Structure 1
Amino acid sequence: MNLIILSVLSSFFILSVSLRPEPPKNNAQITVMGFVYCDICSNNTFSRHSYFLPGAEVQLDCTFRAVSPKTREQIAFSVNRTTDKYGVYRLEIPSVDGIACAEAAISSSCLASLVGSSSTSCNVPGYRSTTDEIAIKSRHPNLCIYSLNALNFRPSKRDVTLCGGN
């Protein structure tokens, strides 16, 4: 009987210890994201006929450097990501030693390139790659969000009934 009580109490103790919040880290969480759309009118803008393209494949080539006199740390990577049902691709890097977003102590460069479309009716590359990014300031001091400009595919033939003859 005592063994059962001890077992139950130790289970509660282990559970309570595991639920305690971890002390905050000074490392940055980096999110790189962008979206891919189908440019129905082939004019490199998101029009009322355009739609976000789920299942498109994008390659990300990024380098992040800590900008500090104390460190010269750098990470570089190349990965492929597939867009979700909203046409958004995303890469999350959970923790980067020596890089803190709050002090703007990060220098980055990312290139996003189209690899392939999931749609047979919208598979001709429009904007194939982008390095233009917007760094979004987060309320959380160590969350860096880099939003890259949109990439697009277009149909092989322009629909003049939807988009006009120009």
Structure 2
Amino acid sequence: MTTTLVLLVVSCCSLWLSLSSAAKVVNPQITVMGMVYCDICSNNSFSRHSYFMPGVEVKIDCTFKAMATRTAELVSVSVNRTTNKYGVYRLEIPSVDGIECAAEKAVGNSCRASLIGSSSSFCNVPGSTRTTTDEITIKSKQANMCIYSLTALNFRPSKRNVALCGN
């Protein structure tokens, strides 16, 4: 009886250990981020007079193509975010079955960010080149983390400061 009980316990433990040590496929957590700055000199680039803008409202729209065995599935996310004190907005998307990071199969993945409103009455005119960006760069591709970085967006003042920026 004791031998049978010992064998049963050993069998259960070894089964439990083999199941817990089996390789698990971990889907990546996806982070989408970008920044917003004030283009003081209205030259559509970040200059020494520019600064990053906290409190700016940004809309982020993302679509991810999930790789399923029999169907093509799309996962869409649309949220508003506010930039932090460094002018950075961020969207954290927990791992989703079938969504891969930065792989050739992930070509269907896309994100875009749009300016909603400025936090500054001085710098509140959307930049002349774009109010939306969909240019995405893959900054990190690790086993369980994927960071997508969107091109910076900007506001500018309604009037250019000629004394500060020149002609």
Q: TM-score per shorter chain, which class? A: 0.7 to 0.9
For the residues of structure 2 that align with 1:98 and 1:162, how far apart are their CA atoms?
A: 52
Is 1:40 the counterpart of 2:40 in the alignment?
A: yes
TM-score, reference length from structure 2: 0.78
**How many matched pairs?**
142
Please name the residue that 2:51 is paired with: 51
- Cα deviation per residue 1:35-58 (whole Å; 9 max; x = unaligned)? 000000001100000000000000
TM-score (norm. length: structure 1): 0.78
In structure 2, runs of 5+ residues without a counterpart are: 1-22
Distance 1:80 1:32 in 2: 12
* Alignment-derived partner of residue 143 in structure 2: 141
Structure 2 residue aligned with 1:155: 157
Q: 1:103 to 1:46 in 2, by over 3 A?
A: closer
CA gap of 1:25–1:85, structure 2 versus 1, over 3 A, is farther
Structure 1 stretches lacking a partner, 5+ long: 1-22
Output one character per residue of 1:58-79: Cα deviation in whole Å (capped at 9) or x when no partner: 0011101024655523210211
SS in 2 for 1:97: coil
Query: Which ranges of 4 or more aligned residues in structure 1 deviate by more than 3 Å?
Result: 67-71, 102-105
RMSD value, Cα: 1.9
Give the whole-Å Cα distance in 2 for the aligned partners of 1:115 and 1:72. Answer: 32
| Counterpart position of 1:129 | 132
Give the corresponding residue for 2:26.
26
Computing the radius of gyration from Cα coordinates, the structure with the larger value is: 2
